[in-house]
Every structure is written in C-alpha cells, then in structure tokens.
Amino acid sequence: MPIVEAKGVRKVYRGDGVETEALRGVDLRLEAGEFTALVGPSGSGKSTLLHILAGLDLPTEGEVWVGGVRLDRLSRAERARFRLEHVGLVFQAYNLLPVLTALENAAFVLELRGLSRPERERRAMAALEALGLADKAGRFPRQLSGGEQQRVAVARALAAEPLLVLADEPTANLDSKTGLALIERMQALNEERGVTFLFSTHDPRLLAHVKRIVRLEDGRLVGEEWP
C-alpha cells in the first residue's frame, strides 16, 4: 500500500470573483522509503500539493490518502491530530518557535503528543545528533545560522518518527553549500532509517541526490524521473 496517494486532485482558489486553478487533476503515489523531489517553476502548484498532502489545506476535488487515511474527509481538528501523529513538516522559513531552544523545538511535537520529558528529550537529542547539532541543543533559534535552523526543523520532524516528511523548499533560504549539506543529511536519514521524504525545490544541484523527481507545471504532473 502506498504511503501517499493523490487521486485527481484539483484545487481552485476563489477570491474577488476570480478563480485560480492551482492543481488540475494531480495523481501521485509515493511508496514507503521514497526520497522524492517535487520540481517545477514558481506557481506550478508544488506548495499547494504539499499543503494538501499535509492536510493543511483541502482539495476542491479528488481524494488524498496518507497512511491509509483519507485526509480530505477529516475535520480540521482531525487533520491537525493526524499531522501531529503522522506527518513531519519542514517549511521554507519561520520554522522554529523563537522562545524554545533547539532541543525544545526538536522535542515540541513529542511534547504535544504527551510523551514524558526524558523520553522526548532522548529522541529529540538523537535527532539533533543525527543532523550534527548535538552541541547546539541549548541554543535559541536566534543563536543559530539559517542552515542550522532548518536542520533543527528537520530534527523536529524526524524526532516524531512520522510516516512521511513533507518539506516545502527547505533549502530556498540557504546558500547552496548549506542547502546541499541539508539535503545530504536528509538523504542519509532516508537511507539509514527508511523515512519517506517528499520535498519541493528549485535547485537543480539537489536533484542528483534524490531517487525520484516529479515534475509539476501549471498544476499538472508533466513527468517523472528516476535518476
């Protein structure tokens, strides 16, 4: 059974009497352990698709299945709980809570799940170590570089051991070296732990590291590659 399955997903935004079709019938299947990049020009619908797959937004038409659960049938609160339990999210910017340390940020989702403090700190610390941030666990986001902040965000997603990590242009705000280093870390985690990743990117240099590339244009899937 696939981890993710989108069937005929359409998304239409309506505002000021204007309709904008962001997704035009997207079909996508993601198997467990995939490390997939979603590529396409700006406005092609990459972020919209990721948001719908994360349950942050609902499709206008179509079905969205994640881990065997039909997300588009869930209520807002049920989708929030589903994300908390099963989906790790990494955003382009503003990923961390500024008042929490790196360790507390990495442990935050586990805290929301109600894990005991020692348990969540153990798991968050392990995630930070895997991303080379063990020595910066006590630092606040303002004391970390952009790349380190993104790695903390990935650590938060991984510490929760989700079914799926969705990352929306995680390297967009990083210089190419830092961006590449982050992708390499994510790739290593994918290979070592079998975590399923789907991330959107503009950066062609990162594509050498992925197992699968899904191309999106004008809200349609226009091609797939397995480099």
Partner 1 sequence: MLRLAWRNLLRTPGRNLATGGVVALVVFLSLVFLSVYAGAFDAFFRLLLERTGHLVVRVESYREKEDLEALTFAPPALPLPPGTQVEGVLEGQALVIAGERSRAAVLTGLEAGGLERQRKLLKAGRLPQASGEALLGEALARALKVGLGDEVVAYAPGGMGLGIFPFRVVGLLDLPETHLEARTLVVGLGDAQALLFPGRVTRLEIRLSGIGLYDQEPLEALKARLKPHLEGLTVETWLEANPLYAALLPLYDTVMALYVGIFFLLGGLILLNALYLSLVERVREFGLLSALGLTGRRVMALVFWESLLLVGVSALVGAGLGLLLHLELLDGFRLPLPQWILEQYREFGLPEVLYGRLGVKEVLLTLGYAVGVALLAALWPGYLASRLEPVEAMRYVP
Which residues sit at the interface with partner 1, rule CB under 8 A?
51, 54, 56-57, 76-77, 80-85, 87, 89, 91, 94-95, 97-100, 104, 108-109, 111-112, 156
Distance of closest approach, residue 58 Cβ to partner 1, in angstroms: 11
CB closer to partner 1, 17 vs 98: 98
Query: Residue 73 contacts by C-beta under 8 Å, 6 or more apart in sequence?
Result: none
Distance of closest approach, residue 201 Cβ to partner 1, in angstroms: 18
Q: At 30, which helix (H) or strand (E)?
A: strand 18-30
CB closer to partner 1, 33 vs 140: 140
CB closer to partner 1, 61 vs 85: 85
> What is the rounded distance in angstroms from the CA atom of residue 227 to the CA atom of residue 210?
7
> What is the rounded distance in angstroms from the CA atom of residue 78 to the CA atom of residue 3?
18
Distance of closest approach, residue 223 Cβ to partner 1, in angstroms: 26
CB closer to partner 1, 161 vs 209: 161
Contact 143, 100 (CB under 8 A): no
Distance of closest approach, residue 57 Cβ to partner 1, in angstroms: 6
Contact 191, 130 (CB under 8 A): no
Alpha carbon of residue 227 to chain centroid: 21
